[in-house]
């Protein structure tokens, strides 16, 4: 039976999301699909998986093949950026898709570049509204909404920068 749960994670909180999915899987709920904060789980008490998410916008057949060969099943992808993988929790060996600090840092840097790009488009898209401001209800509501989104992005970019600095210091 499919069970749905709604939950929002920021991209910078990918580690939390991985732990959440892995913990649920240990209780018998295995994530199968994801769409806009809505997770779909299959229930099966006999299994347990470790979930890992890869931020990767340059995927290819070969990319998925490398993961599959290494024992990681591709569960689903989101927005062509987030790839969800899982492996049997009882399988021997490393259960992380990034095995050293340097490559974890690289993946956060990739994420930072993509989100800075999206962020700048977001800002640019607001410029016409600011330029032609005439105080209409629509102007006000769009601006309130976009300001909230911009603040969320700023928060996330700062969190990402903190993570990257942490790994740079500890290299």
How far apart are CB 106 and other proteins at their closest, in Å? 6
Distance of CA 105 to the CA centre of its chain: 15
- Residue from 36, 45, 62, 137 touching other proteins (CB under 8 A): that is 62
- Residue from 28, 32, 33, 98 touching other proteins (CB under 8 A): that is 98
Residues 4-23 that bind other proteins (CB under 8 A): none
3-class DSSP assignment, residue 2: strand
Q: Is 3 left (phi over 0), alpha (psi -120 to 50) or beta?
A: beta
3-class DSSP assignment, residue 54: strand
CA distance 17 to 92: 23
When the beta carbons of 69 and 134 are compared against other proteins, the nearer one is: 69
- Residue from 4, 99, 124, 131 touching other proteins (CB under 8 A): that is 99
- Residue from 8, 61, 131, 169 touching other proteins (CB under 8 A): that is 61
CA distance 83 to 66: 13
Which chain residues interact with other proteins by CB under 8 A? Answer: 52, 54, 56, 58, 60-63, 65-67, 69-70, 72, 93-94, 96-100, 102-103, 106-107
């Amino acid at each position: 039976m499919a069970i749905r749960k709604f939950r929002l994670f920021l991209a910078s909180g990918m580690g939390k999301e991985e732990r959440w999915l892995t913990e649920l899987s240990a209780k018998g709920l295995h994530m199968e699909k994801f769409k806009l904060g809505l997770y779909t789980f299959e229930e099966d008490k006999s299994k347990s998986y470790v979930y890992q998410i890869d931020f990767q916008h340059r995927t290819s057949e070969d990319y998925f093949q490398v993961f599959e060969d290494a024992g990681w099943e591709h569960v689903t992808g989101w927005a062509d950026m987030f790839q969800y993988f899982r492996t049997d929790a009882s399988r021997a060996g490393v259960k992380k898709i990034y095995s050293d600090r340097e490559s974890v840092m690289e993946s956060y840097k990739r994420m930072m570049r993509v989100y800075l790009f999206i962020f700048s488009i977001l800002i640019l898209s607001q410029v016409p509204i600011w330029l032609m401001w005439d105080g209409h209800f629509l102007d006000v509501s769009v601006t309130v909404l976009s300001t909230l989104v911009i603040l969320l992005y700023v928060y996330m970019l700062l969190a990402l920068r903190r993570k990257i600095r942490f790994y740079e210091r500890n290299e």
